[in-house]
Amino acid sequence: MLKVEGYTFDRAKREAVEAVQAALGEPAELTTALPPAEVDADLAIPCFPLAAQRRKSPPEIAGELARSVRPGPLLAGAQAAGGYLNFTLARPAFAAGVMADLIRGGDRYGTSEVGAGRTVVIDYSAPNVARQMSVGHLRSTIIGAALVNLHRHTGYRPVGDNHLGDWGTQFGTLLYAYAHWLDREAYERDPIAELLRLYVMFDEEARKDPALRERAREWSLKLERGDPEARTLWQEFVRHSLVEFQKTYDLLEVRFDHTLGESFYEDKMEEVISQARQNGVATTDGGAVIIRLDDAGITTPLILQRSDGATLYATRDLATAVYRIRTFRPAKILYVVGSDQRLHFRQLFEALKKLGHGDVEYVHVDFGLVRLPEGRMSTRRGRVVFLQEVLEEAIDRARALVDEKNPELPEAERREVARIVGVGAIKYADLSQNRVKNIVFDWDRMLALDGDSAPYLQYTYVRARGIIRKGGDVALDVPFDGRAAASAQEWALIKHLARFPDAVHEATRAYYPHVVANHLFQLAQLFHAFYQEIPVLQAEDNGLRWSRQQLVWGVATVMRTGLGLLGIRVPERMYSRFPVPGIGHGAKCRV
Ligand code: ARG
């Protein structure tokens, strides 16, 4: 099991390990695990690793240990169960510890020093200039932004870089098409749409007349050699695209520390190429410069330079990595890019090792495809899905829900809530699933109030905040009353809150934002189960009431913090008009 030091759950795990070591009379490599839900215990130590050396069966060892261990203050007792030694936690002490962690941490709850200040460059979004940002880039943007937050929370220094596709032979295509077929009026109205049309048109025409590819190549070389006309036009394309991309980033509220597109490396590729040749990493092959990677089990060589002198995507990626290593001194570089580029990154990482940059950890944080339901919301032009429309559709749908359920809110607030909910729904639909899987946009599921969706979690937050407001705020300086950890519902909630730091750590370690998303979904379910059965504001006495209010406050805090790590905001009010079906309250609202 993971270790995020200093938090109560970690202390409990350490106590369990130390108790076993003391009973064994010697240090031993021990791990802890969570017992399955049906077992009445909170923590387990598997005894299997101890068996071989001691020539006893794991159940025998567990049985002996159960009789001899002396549990520390966070532990209440130990029992053997098969090859496991199970511990129960001392509920009052554990609960008080968790609440103290939460109150001390506030929105910083779950932070850790796991990263120890090490720098991680995160390469994300990276759309291509003169194209529409695709839904694939949306995934990269959302996952990358979440990884930036997660790394910051766990003590790394994240550096976010948007590696814009603003260079390469495709601009030759575009320049040729622009010179011959531009519809100036259309271009002035909507430059990106017109450039896209030219792109598609070039493809069609070149299929009829392959000589066009040669013309495009000439334009591309003109651009690389600094021809003023080609340069001016290219700059214009980049400028128009950046304006377009920025609209999407504004909607998503995503920012980058750097936006160093591929063109930034134009004058930095020569060094990489000549170095690779000098130290024999690269060879020439019919005029082209290549790096063979057979010894790494990759049969396709990486092409550094074509025989006509043109450089490639991979050349720029090599120069980019070298620049990043020099400039930021990273321990890791993460590339948040679809799994269709797996080969490219395998080649890149091997080539970097050959070039002497093997001390950096390179990770291709890959992800699957997105499928959109057909119909109005999946406009396709030139087979590209218009991302802006997907986002706007989500906001429109959220707006309709808000109008229906919160007509009393002022217009400005309704607009804001619709935006928070709509954008949150898109982000959550992506981040709540294992990134390697393909995802399908399912509007109903995405915006459902009672399912694994952003609105459900946001609503849980709003609900918790409502209870706190109704109770006239929460006394955070009152020590937690152990009686408020007695019921199954309270105890499950407390243990779940205790595990949030581990979820954050695990999500960061495996580059899996869905681990945090799933944790929050479970938190919401536990909260609603708790609130359905356990009176908070109507509690029997003040001690219980204050502590249960603290619990509710803890839920709100973890929900806001966790969603914040995923880049999802929470509204303060939402859907107040109707009791929400399916989350366990029905009409018996206690707020
Ligand atoms: N622009 C590229 C594409 O859309 C993605 C770039 C990803 N980052 C990188 N360093 N290669 O396919």
Q: Residue 20: pLDDT above 50?
A: yes
Distance from residue 558's CA to the centre of ligand 1 (Å)? 34
Sheet holding 43-46, edge to edge: 43-46, 84-89, 75-81
* Mean pLDDT of the region 391-406: 89
Q: Residue 584: pLDDT above 70?
A: no
Quick: pLDDT tens for 140-166. Answer: 999 999 999 999 999 999 999 999 999
Distance from residue 302's CA to the centre of ligand 1 (Å)? 16
pLDDT at site 377:
38
Which atom of ligand 1 is least distant from the CA of 313?
11
Q: Residue 385: pLDDT above 60?
A: no
Quick: pLDDT tens for 239-278. Answer: 999 999 999 999 999 999 999 999 999 999 999 999 999 9
CA–CA dist 315, 461 (Å, integer): 47
146 CB burial (10 A radius; 0-12, 13-18, 19+): buried
Q: Residue 238: pLDDT above 90?
A: yes
Q: Is 144 left (phi over 0), alpha (psi -120 to 50) or beta?
A: alpha
Which atom of ligand 1 is least distant from the CA of 128?
1
Which atom of ligand 1 is least distant from the CA of 134?
4
Q: Residue 538: pLDDT above 50?
A: yes
Q: Residue 523: pLDDT above 60?
A: yes
Mapping DSSP onto H, E and C, the string for 505-565 reads HHHHHCCCHHHHHHHHHHHHHHHHHHHHHCCCCCCCCHHHHHHHHHHHHHHHHHHHHHHHH
Distance from residue 317's CA to the centre of ligand 1 (Å)? 9
Q: Residue 38: pLDDT above 60?
A: yes
Range of weakest confidence among 203-207, 322-326, 559-563, 575-579: 575-579
Range of weakest confidence among 100-104, 177-181, 434-438, 564-568: 434-438
Closest CA to 71 of 29, 25, 24, 12: 12
Between 458 and 451, residue with greater pLDDT = 458
pLDDT band at 575 (very low <50, low <70, confident <90, very high): low
Distance from residue 163's CA to the centre of ligand 1 (Å)? 6
- Do residues 146 and 431 lie in contact, with contact meaning Cβ atoms separated by under 8 Å? yes
Q: How far is CA 394 from CA 74, 363, 369, 371, 444, in A?
A: 46, 32, 19, 15, 10
pLDDT at site 2:
52
AA letter at 386: F
Report the sign of the C-alpha dihedral through residues 291, 292, 298, 299, in that order: positive
Helical H segments across 35-116, by residue range: 48-54, 58-68, 91-105
Give, using CA atoms, the residue closest to atom 11 of ligand 1: 317
Please give the radius of gyration of the chain, using alpha carbons only, rounded to the nearest integer.
Answer: 28
pLDDT band at 133 (very low <50, low <70, confident <90, very high): confident
Cβ neighbors of 375 (< 8 A, separation 6 or more) are none
CA–CA dist 533, 482 (Å, integer): 18
Distance from residue 337's CA to the centre of ligand 1 (Å)? 7
Closest CA to 176 of 234, 96, 99: 234
Which atom of ligand 1 is least distant from the CA of 348?
11
**Domains, the chain, ranges and CATH?**
4-89 (3.30.1360.70), 119-376 (3.40.50.620)
Closest CA to 504 of 105, 127, 131, 128: 105
By most ligand atoms within 8 Å of CB, the mutation choice from 337, 345, 367, 384 for ligand 1 is: 337
pLDDT band at 439 (very low <50, low <70, confident <90, very high): confident
Q: Residue 380: pLDDT above 50?
A: no
Give, using CA atoms, the residue closest to atom 5 of ligand 1: 126
**Are β-strands 302-305 and 332-336 bridged in parallel, bridged antiparallel, or unpaired?**
unpaired
Which atom of ligand 1 is least distant from the CA of 164?
1
1 CB burial (10 A radius; 0-12, 13-18, 19+): middle
Distance from residue 30's CA to the centre of ligand 1 (Å)? 43
What percentage of the chain exceeds 70 in pLDDT? 94
pLDDT at site 179:
95
Q: Which residues line ligand 1 (CB under 6 A)?
A: 123, 126, 128, 163, 165, 317, 320, 335, 337
Closest CA to 567 of 191, 149, 176, 217: 149
Q: Residue 553: pLDDT above 70?
A: yes
Distance from residue 41's CA to the centre of ligand 1 (Å)? 48
Distance from residue 368's CA to the centre of ligand 1 (Å)? 15
pLDDT band at 383 (very low <50, low <70, confident <90, very high): very low
pTM of the model: 0.93
Give, using CA atoms, the residue closest to atom 4 of ligand 1: 127
CA–CA dist 136, 370 (Å, integer): 7
Give, using CA atoms, the residue closest to atom 6 of ligand 1: 126
Distance from residue 313's CA to the centre of ligand 1 (Å)? 8
- Do residues 470 and 591 lie in contact, with contact meaning Cβ atoms separated by under 8 Å? yes
* Mean pLDDT of the region 532-557: 96
pLDDT band at 173 (very low <50, low <70, confident <90, very high): very high
Between 234 and 372, residue with greater pLDDT = 234
Cβ neighbors of 122 (< 8 A, separation 6 or more) are 144, 147, 148, 151, 158, 159, 160, 161, 334, 336
Which atom of ligand 1 is least distant from the CA of 341?
12
Q: How far is CA 500 from CA 101, 102, 384, 452, 496, in A?
A: 11, 10, 39, 18, 7
Residue with tokens 């109507």: 538
Q: Which helix (H) or strand (E) holds 319?
A: helix 313-328
Instruction: Tabulate helix, strand, coil % of the chain (nearest 5).
Output: 55, 10, 35
- Do residues 39 and 81 lie in contact, with contact meaning Cβ atoms separated by under 8 Å? yes
pLDDT at site 388:
77
pLDDT at site 389:
79
Between 89 and 474, residue with greater pLDDT = 89
Q: Distance from first CA to last CA of the chain, Å, rounded? A: 38
By most ligand atoms within 8 Å of CB, the mutation choice from 163, 169, 315, 387 for ligand 1 is: 163
Distance from residue 366's CA to the centre of ligand 1 (Å)? 12
Q: Residue 576: pLDDT above 70?
A: no
Which atom of ligand 1 is least distant from the CA of 345?
11
Which atom of ligand 1 is least distant from the CA of 344?
11
Q: Which helix (H) or strand (E) holds 81?
A: strand 75-81
Q: How far is CA 513 from the centre of its chain?
A: 4
pLDDT band at 410 (very low <50, low <70, confident <90, very high): very high
- Do residues 15 and 74 lie in contact, with contact meaning Cβ atoms separated by under 8 Å? yes
CA–CA dist 58, 30 (Å, integer): 13
Q: Across all residues in the chain, what is the average pLDDT?
A: 91
* Mean pLDDT of the region 15-20: 95
| Beta-bridge partners for 364 | 335
Distance from residue 386's CA to the centre of ligand 1 (Å)? 18
* Mean pLDDT of the region 380-387: 50
Q: How far is CA 427 from CA 135, 158, 386, 423, in A?
A: 12, 20, 16, 6
294 CB burial (10 A radius; 0-12, 13-18, 19+): exposed
Quick: pLDDT tens for 334-374. Answer: 999 999 999 999 999 999 999 999 999 999 999 998 776 65
Q: Residue 125: pLDDT above 70?
A: yes
| Beta-bridge partners for 566 | none
AA letter at 287: G
Give, using CA atoms, the residue closest to atom 1 of ligand 1: 165
**Are β-strands 75-81 and 84-89 bridged in parallel, bridged antiparallel, or unpaired?**
antiparallel
- Do residues 298 and 212 lie in contact, with contact meaning Cβ atoms separated by under 8 Å? no
Distance from residue 145's CA to the centre of ligand 1 (Å)? 16
Distance from residue 238's CA to the centre of ligand 1 (Å)? 16
Q: Residue 466: pLDDT above 70?
A: yes
- Do residues 423 and 395 lie in contact, with contact meaning Cβ atoms separated by under 8 Å? yes
Distance from residue 321's CA to the centre of ligand 1 (Å)? 13
Residues 264, 265, 269: CA angle, nearest 5 degrees: 165
CA–CA dist 193, 132 (Å, integer): 8
Cβ neighbors of 267 (< 8 A, separation 6 or more) are none
**Are β-strands 75-81 and 119-123 bridged in parallel, bridged antiparallel, or unpaired?**
unpaired
Residues 226, 230, 236: CA angle, nearest 5 degrees: 115
